[in-house]
Amino acid sequence: QLGQAAPRLLCSLIHKFGRRETDNFEEFIKELEAQPTPAVGELFLFVDECHRTQGGKLHRVMKALLPGAVFIGFTGTPLLAKDRATSREV
């Protein structure tokens, strides 16, 4: 459905992006970035519990698969220290 230009709302679970064990993660990212993007039109990703999934490798995989997407993350985890960041550019 990502290849259709018609407005749509798709919902997916984060694990649908899969897990792949690789000896060379940087090479894996380059392979993903070299593939054509399946999405047509604007794509906005709303990621719930983003503090769990968007701070490392999974975020890099998602950005490589959907390079033109806008990521909007949500978290309900409270900040327990006054000097903690309330937002982060990724």
Q: Which residues of the chain have pLDDT under 70?
A: 1, 15-20, 78-90
pTM of the model: 0.66
User: Where exactly are the structural domains of the chain?
Assistant: 43-77
Residue 50: its H or E element: helix 50-53
Taking the C-alpha atoms of residue 81 and residue 83, their distance in angstroms, rounded to an integer, is 6
Pull the structure tokens for residue 65: 């698969």
Taking the C-alpha atoms of residue 67 and residue 13, their distance in angstroms, rounded to an integer, is 19
Quick one: pLDDT at residue 24? Answer: 87
Q: Which residue has the tokens 């993903």?
A: 32
Residue 77 bridge partners (DSSP): none
71 with 54: CB under 8 angstroms?
Answer: yes
pLDDT > 70 in the chain, percent: 77
